[in-house]
Amino acid sequence: MAPSASPAPTSRAGAVRGSVRRRVRAGRAARKPQRRRHAETVLRALARSFGLVRRIMAPHIGSFGISISQWTVLRTLQRAEDEGTVGLRLCDLGARLLVQPPSVTGAVDRLKRMGLLTTTVSSEDQRVREVRLTRSGRERVAQVLVGQPERLARLLAGLSRPEQEELRRLLDLLTNHLESLVDPRETIDGEDDLAERGQ
């Protein structure tokens, strides 16, 4: 009986290549859900950390009769004064806080009624209002800031100094990336979105 013919080398090579391609495709398909879960886990951890910072800081800030959102507006205006800018236009204040002017207007109006802010007409454009801290507003900011370095140090005490510096570096990288994704025509709406910006 004649021996059976061996499979052609080209056929075996083709089968091997097909098997390799199938394994590669299967590996890629398996990695996609893993990458999505990993990204979700990272962002969830980041959001939880910010939420905990707000929760820890809220009682202290609330003891001075203001909400975290109101504190954010006051602190932003105080920082602007430290930079040499006394008063901000509503649109500039909103841009610093990454929220739309209507959200800023609500917080500003409440702080005005409390005597902590005042609004004036811009000397450059009569149609534009500028928001400024009153003397009482500056005093309220100073009161909140008493002991602030110690409180913030306590928040970060779970990380060593090198770890804090590494966290800052990574957050800067993430911020730069996120800023490249932001549509300048769109901003976040809602007073709650002011909360994490005034620590």
SS3 label, residue 67: coil
Q: At what angle do helices 148-155 and 9-62 cross, to 10 degrees?
A: 150
End-to-end CA distance of the chain: 90
Of 194, 180, 170, 186, the residue nearest 46 (C-alpha) = 170
pLDDT in tens, 121-158: 877 776 788 999 999 999 999 999 999 999 999 999 99
Separation CA 117–CA 65 (nearest Å): 14
Higher pLDDT, 87 or 33: 87
Banded pLDDT at 162 (limits 50, 70, 90)? very high
Bigger pLDDT: 186 vs 174:
174
Residue-wise pLDDT tens digits, 64-109:
999 999 999 999 999 999 999 988 988 899 888 877 777 788 899 9
Q: SS3 for 131? A: strand
Task: Please return the burial class of 70, using the count of CB atoms within 10 Å of its CB with bins 0-12, 13-18 and 19+.
Answer: buried
The pLDDT assigned to 9 comes to 56
Q: What is the pLDDT at residue 116?
A: 97
Residue 30 clears pLDDT 80, i.e. is over it = no
Q: Write down all domains in the chain, each with its CATH number in brackets.
A: 66-197 (1.10.10.10)
187: pLDDT strictly greater than 70: no
Tell me if the pTM is above 0.85: no
Predicted local distance difference test score (pLDDT) of residue 99: 79
